[in-house]
Amino acid sequence: MLELRPNCECCDRDLPPDSLEARICSYECTFCADCAGDRLGGICPNCGGELVCRPIRPPAMLAKHPASTKRVLKPAGCGAGRG
């Protein structure tokens, strides 16, 4: 089950579970659409995998299986020279 992490690893932007701006790789590294596209060129800086739109969990299932509250921040891996 996806963790639905609460923030972008690059800029720390909040990404609530229903955000259309969240992008993830197959390891669930999480980024906002701006960082994923502009800074990272659609490639995860951690694993090299493709960044895709994160699915939105339906509200009833979100109540049963809440999103993660653990923030991950790795701005050093999202250097301005990328993308």
Q: What residue segments make up the domains of the chain, in order of their start?
A: 1-65
Give the pLDDT score at 56. Answer: 97
CA–CA dist 8, 69 (Å, integer): 12
Number of H helices, E strands in the chain: 2, 3
List, for residues 30-61, the tens digit of each pLDDT value: 999 999 999 999 999 999 999 999 999 999 99
| CA 20 centroid distance within chain | 11
Name the phi and psi angles at 46, rounded to 5: -85, -45
**Domain 1-65 classified CATH 3.30.40?**
yes
**How many beta carbons lie within 10 A of that of residue 36, not counting itself?**
28
Do the Cβ atoms of 40 and 10 come closer than 8 Å?
Answer: yes
Give the pLDDT score at 78. Answer: 87
